[in-house]
Amino acid sequence: MSRIRAVAASAALVVVAALAAVVPATAGTEPASAKTAAAVQADCAWTTWTAGQWYATGAIVKYTDGKYYIAEHENPGYDPVISTWYWEPHSGCGGGTQPGNGNCNHPNWVAGQWYAAGSIVKYTNGKYYIAEHENPGYDPVISTWYWKPHTCGGGGDQPPNPGSFVVSESQFNSMFPGRNSFYSYSGLVAALSAYPGFATTGSDTVKKQEAAAFLANVNHETGGLVHIVEQNTANYPHYCDTGQPYGCPAGNAAYYGRGPIQLSWNFNYKAAGDALGLPLLTNPWLVQNDSAVAWKTALWYWNTQTGPGSMTPHNAMVNGRGFGETIRSINGSIECNGGNPGQVQSRVNAYNRFVGLLGATPGGNLYC
């Protein structure tokens, strides 16, 4: 397996929030329609969201989509739509979660039972919660990174919509018949919201080509979605760049390859964590413990990093540069320009098979 050694963008503030933060339950508020005008105006003490600006817990912002969000945790201007651990939709200004009147017929939450992303449960307090990330029965009131409040019948956080992804679950299973169960389809679908342009840009053919290209590359990196972590443990201490000002707070041997794209190096964990609103620099093990987080790190690299190439893999596919350019952005001269033609051919073979399963043509420029 090849390694990702791309130098990512340098840094913002180190995120040190715990994964399953214990957040005290807050009392519910009455609907805005039942409040006085003054109370509603007080709820709407918002500012326009600005990337990079520091927000304290409880700050309310109006996002670019016209909706309102409230900071669940203080943060240095993370995107409210992407960094959902830090931000919640806010209804006090007329947006966010609205009450619904639909029928609720969801099972009671059971501690220790496995829940896939999108599962809805009724908790012991009589309220409903939806799993933002798959989990082994964590408490919805305590583990607020895994669960979000859900309003049955309308509004609220809705489950991911697998139907909007160009790869169906049956096609995904056909591509990876021997995959590790950690690499779940639901985890992939849950991660898609982090980069909404992925596999949704361009014609139907281009969308399918990009999805196939991404999956072909992660297939190569993980041996068919089998390996979650880098297999050569002797390499583990090598991925700490001590020259970075934030160092390696999780330990010098903590930044080995993990996940679909085998994310490695402390600076990549820092950059990916900052972009996704996750404490990956201090807790890199999130990538090997949560399927949606693992998929998000792969999509982060695919959509934002040029690596040793000249463009992101996403841009290579949507701008017609071809599958070969994605290989260059991932592994550069290690494989391209005659570096390792066998590895290149392996990636191309997988791409041709996957794009065929999706009923699309592969396009040109397959090699690098």
| Residue 224 maps to a domain | yes
How large is the greatest C-alpha to C-alpha distance in the chain, in angstroms? 71
CA 232/CA 1 separation, integer angstroms: 10
At 70, phi and psi to the nearest 5? -115, 140
| Residue 256 maps to a domain | yes
Q: Give me the pLDDT at residue 303, please.
A: 95
| Residue 105 maps to a domain | no
Q: How many CB atoms lie within 10 A of CB 179?
A: 18
The number of distinct structural domains making up the chain is: 1
Q: Are 62 and 46 in contact (CB under 8 A)?
A: yes
Q: Give me the pLDDT at residue 78, please.
A: 77
Q: Give me the pLDDT at residue 67, please.
A: 81
Q: Give me the pLDDT at residue 156, please.
A: 38
| Residue 94 maps to a domain | no
| Residue 251 maps to a domain | yes
Query: Residue 27 region, left (φ>0) first, then alpha (ψ -120 to 50), else beta?
Result: beta
Task: Please identify every residue annotated as catalytic.
Answer: 221
| Residue 21 maps to a domain | no
Single pTM value for the model: 0.61
Q: Are 230 and 236 in contact (CB under 8 A)?
A: yes
CA 323/CA 362 separation, integer angstroms: 8
Q: Give me the pLDDT at residue 111, please.
A: 81
Structural domain of residue 327, as residue ranges?
1-12+164-368
Chunked mean pLDDT (size 10), the chain, 368 residues: 42 31 34 37 66 78 79 77 75 48 68 81 79 79 73 47 79 96 91 90 95 98 97 97 97 98 96 92 95 94 95 96 97 96 98 97 97
CATH of the domain at 169: 1.10.530.10
| Residue 23 maps to a domain | no
| Residue 236 maps to a domain | yes
